Amino acid sequence: MEKQFKFIISGGGTGGHIYPAIAIANELKSRYPDAQFLFVGANDKMEMQKVPQAGYKIKGLWISGIQRKLTLQNAMFPFKLLSSLWKSYWILKQFKPDVVIGTGGFASGTVLKVASMLGIPTVVQEQNSYPGITNKLLAKKAAVICVAYEGLDRFFPPEKTIITGNPVRQDLLEIDEKRIQALTYLELDPTKRTLLVLGGSLGARRINQLIAEEIDLFQDLGIQVVWQCGKLYFEEYNHFNEKNNVHVLAFIDKMDFAYAAADIIISRSGASSVSELCIVGKPTIFIPSPNVSEDHQTKNAQAILDKKAAILLKENELNEKFKVTFADLLSNDEKQEKLSKKIHKLALPYATREIVNEIEKLIKE
List, as one string, the DSSP characters of 191-249.
TS-EEEEE--SS--HHHHHHHHHHHHHHHHTT-EEEEE--TTTHHHHGGGGGSTTEEEE
Query: What are the beta bridge partners of residue 162?
Result: 146
Q: Which of 128, 131, 84 is nearest to 106 (CA)?
A: 84
Of 238, 249, 248, the C-alpha closest to 218 is 248
Q: Do residues 284 and 339 make contact, with C-beta atoms less than 8 angstroms apart?
A: yes
CA-to-CA distance for 199 and 240, rounded, in angstroms?
17
Task: Confirm whether residue 252 is marked as ligand binding.
Answer: yes
Q: Is 125 annotated as a binding residue?
A: no
Q: Which residues contact 17 (CB under 8 A, 6 or more apart)?
A: 11, 47, 103, 104, 105, 108, 127
For residue 284, say whether it is annotated as part of any ligand binding site: no
Query: Does 175 appear as a known binding residue?
Result: no
User: Which residues does residue 312 pair with via DSSP β-bridges, in sequence order?
Assistant: 286
Annotated ligand binding at 129? The verdict is no
Indicate the helix (H) or strand (E) that contains 143.
none
182: nearest Cα among 258, 250, 245: 258
Check the annotation: does 297 bind a ligand: yes
Smallest CA-to-CA distance from 356 within 170, 172, 174, 165 is with 165
Distances from the Cα of 193 to the Cαs of 80, 109, 174, 260, 261, in angstroms? 50, 44, 20, 12, 9
**Could you tell me if 283 and 340 are in contact, meaning their C-beta atoms sit under 8 angstroms apart?**
yes
* Measured distance CA(19)–CA(154) in Å, rounded: 27
Q: Letter for the amino acid at 132?
A: G
CA–CA gap between residue 304 and residue 299 (Å, rounded) = 9
- Could you tell me which residues are annotated as the binding site for UDP-N-acetyl-alpha-D-glucosamine? 14-16, 128, 169, 201, 252, 297
- Could you tell me which residues are annotated as the binding site? 14-16, 128, 169, 201, 252, 297
